[in-house]
């Protein structure tokens, strides 16, 4: 039987798929960090179940990325509580906010507050769309200075 895709409803199959992908990445360069990405930023119990299931299947990864939109994952305070707990529970993992809307300052603060530099940063999923207030560029591709200013400030501040 051929595995076609995977879902957290079938961790045995999903685990095989993720392990194959991670092995392919590591075969190219063992130093590349493998990141898994889920959308449970505001739900610590669901995040822990997902990580534990992945680890239970022998999935090896270095970074957990989370989607963090107030519309779907609640307020930034919940994200911080989740990441703070995960940093204690999973000391070998680093973390990324892999999708964020307009909450640049809040998400960078969450990442910076994690111990030992394990909060690696944030990523704007669609910087040309304003669907979630995340546009960093206008329709012509020009930078929106008022949106980029917070990143300039955050990268220079220590």
Distance CA(1)–CA(57), nearest Å, equals 19
pLDDT in tens, 120-156: 988 877 777 777 677 878 888 888 888 778 777 767 6
Model pTM score: 0.85
Pairing type for strands 94-100 and 63-68 reads: parallel
Residue 49 pLDDT exceeds 90:
yes
Name the residue with tokens 């979630």: 132
pLDDT in tens, 57-72: 999 999 999 988 878 8
pLDDT band at 51 (very low <50, low <70, confident <90, very high): very high
The answer to whether the CB of 34 falls within 8 A of the CB of 25 is yes
Residue 21 CA to chain centroid, in angstroms? 18
Name the residue with tokens 């449970």: 40
Percent of the chain predicted with pLDDT > 90? 48
């Amino acid at each position: 039987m051929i595995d076609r895709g995977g879902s957290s409803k079938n961790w045995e199959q999903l685990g095989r798929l993720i392990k194959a992908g991670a092995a392919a990445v590591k075969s190219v360069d063992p130093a590349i960090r493998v990141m898994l990405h889920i959308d449970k930023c505001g739900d610590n119990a669901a995040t822990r179940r997902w990580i534990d299931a992945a680890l239970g299947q022998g999935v090896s990864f270095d970074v957990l990325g989370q989607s963090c939109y107030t519309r779907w994952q609640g307020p930034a305070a919940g994200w911080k509580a989740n990441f703070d707990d995960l940093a204690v529970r999973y000391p070998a993992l680093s973390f990324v906010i892999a999708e964020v809307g307009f909450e640049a300052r809040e998400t960078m603060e969450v990442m910076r507050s994690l111990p030992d530099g394990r909060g690696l940063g944030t990523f704007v999923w669609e910087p040309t769309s304003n669907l979630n207030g995340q546009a960093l560029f206008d329709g012509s591709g020009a930078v929106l200075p008022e949106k980029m200013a917070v990143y300039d400030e955050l990268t220079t501040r220590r």
